[in-house]
Amino acid sequence: MNAIVLPWRRRAAAETGSAPRCAPAWRAPLVLGVLGLAATALMPEQLGLLTRIFITALFVLSLDLLVGIAGLATLGHAAMFGVGAYAAGIFALQVMADPLAGLAVGIAAGALLALASGAFVLRYQGFTFLMLTVAAAQIVLSLAQKARDWTGGDDGLSGFVMAPVLGLFAFDLEGRVAAFYTLAVLVVLFYVARRIVDSPFGLAVRGIHENRARMAALGTPVFGRLLAIYTIAGAMAGAAGALSAQTTAVVGLDSLSFALSAEVLVMLILGGAGRLTGALVGATVFTLLHHTAASINPYHWLFVVGALLMVVVLMPPRQAWAWLRRRLGEVTR
């Protein structure tokens, strides 16, 4: 299997100009936690923005498991995010408002939807798979729109107030608890994703990405592995949706939209797919750019985002970093 699953490491080394090395799985999550805490301390007036960045980063991270690790290009990932958000919101309204219980419900909802839809769409590949993910997401959106008694339809779901986290930390108007809560969940799930990717299961999924036919010939249950990673990614997207619902107390149909699926894919491309950390970078840069551009001109900020996407397509992030490192090396000689 090494002949199949290791080319991605050699490519990364060639693009960055450095030898491949494996850092402990806890190192990147620890750095993420420290940076997140530093951001909350340095930007106390922007805790709402930071909370949005943490949630978006988790959402993009879940997509990276599909696109970057498994090689499954999808434009329907918002379905899992939206279902997780609606499940957490409905749970808070109808059952209990405990954040951790609602988070678990959102994770379960996202995983179940991914499992059910993946059992069908993963039987296809390429463009057919891509369009089926779009169709599945549109079906979920239509169902949410029609189930007004549960989802609120076009008006969305609102009116729920979350209980304190762990029964101790009440959500405050400044957004401090929300920021720490979402950061903690992001760090934990980032660590989980890191362990999954570095495990034998993760290497098998990488191998399927590199050469599906050869992995099948080696006896790897390709469909089962892809369905498993699809379900895991759906669970993480559901967690992001649940966090969004709990911290904003609002869930709308836009959480299931095609536009959201496309937007999160742009973020992943921006940061670089297949490295997990690229998802965090892409989500942060895109959200900050969106926030800045919208504050300057709320009507034409998409022009700025479109221009950025063109730059990313012309020079992918990994190539850009490799070029920058070469130039810096020339300057320091």
CB 57 within 8 A of CB 283: yes
Q: What is the 3-state secondary structure (H, E, C) of the chain?
A: CHHHHCHHHHHHHHHHCCCCCCCCCCHHHHHHHHHHHHHHHHCHHHHHHHHHHHHHHHHHHHHHHHHHHHCCCCCCCHHHHHHHHHHHHHHHHHCCCCHHHHHHHHHHHHHHHHHHHHHHHCCCCHHHHHHHHHHHHHHHHHHHHHCHHHHCHHHCEECCCCCCECCCECCCCCCHHHHHHHHHHHHHHHHHHHHHHHCHHHHHHHHHHHCHHHHHHCCCCHHHHHHHHHHHHHHHHHHHHHHHHHHHCEECHHHHCHHHHHHHHHHHHHHCCCCCHHHHHHHHHHHHHHHHHHHHCCCCHHHHHHHHHHHHHHCCHHHHHHHHHHHHHHHHC
The predicted pLDDT at position 271 comes to 83
266 alpha-carbon distance from chain centroid: 11
**C-alpha–C-alpha distance, residues 246 and 44, integer Å:** 20
| Of the candidates 123, 106, 127, the residue with the CA atom closest to the CA atom of residue 234 | 106
pLDDT at residue number 307: 74
pTM of the predicted model as reported, rounded to 2 decimal places = 0.86
User: What is d(CA 19, CA 192) in angstroms, rounded to the nearest whole number?
Assistant: 25
Q: In a structure prediction context, what are the per-residue pLDDT tens digits for the chain, which is 333 residues long?
A: 544 444 544 444 444 444 445 567 778 888 889 999 999 889 888 888 999 999 999 999 999 999 989 999 899 999 999 999 999 999 999 888 899 999 999 999 999 999 999 999 999 988 999 999 999 999 999 999 998 888 888 888 888 888 898 888 888 888 889 999 999 999 999 999 999 999 999 999 999 989 888 888 888 899 999 999 999 999 999 999 999 999 998 998 999 998 899 889 988 988 888 888 888 998 998 888 888 877 776 666 667 767 767 776 666 656 665 665 666 665 555
250: how many CB neighbours lie within 10 A of its CB? 16
